Amino acid sequence: MAEGYYKREHLPHFGDIAEGGGELAKKFFDYYGAVFAAGALTEREKALIALAVAHAVQCPYCIDAYSQECLQKGSDLEQMTEAVHVATAIRGGASLVHGIQMLEHVKKASM
């Protein structure tokens, strides 16, 4: 199929989601803005967390946006790659830790 579901030009139009429900959109975007403001964590650290989560939820819009944001906030490729590995480790670990259930089952069911 030539035309995919994901389109790059959707990203700058994210705000158009307000068309079907302005009040909820406003609450979401206000909250979103507040989340990413500097607080106990810096804006750069928050962008790195967002980049890692973007890979965990496999959102191409978020990967695009937060790759750029991380660079802009002063992270370099090595720092961003380490963040992606954190997401990968948690995703992989989440699968692997279930192996303990498998192990218990096997031990109980086997001679």
Burial class of residue 48 (count of CB atoms within 10 Å of its CB; 0-12, 13-18, 19+): buried
Tell me the CB-side half-sphere exposure of residue 3, using CA atoms within 13 A. Answer: 0
Question: How far is it, in rounded angstroms, from Cα 65 to Cα 57?
Answer: 14
Least Cβ distance, residue 73 to another protein (angstroms): 5
Least Cβ distance, residue 64 to another protein (angstroms): 12
Q: Which stretches of the chain bind another protein, using CB under 8 A?
A: 38, 42-44, 68, 71-74, 76-79
Least Cβ distance, residue 31 to another protein (angstroms): 21
The residue (of 23 and 78) whose beta carbon lies closer to another protein is: 78
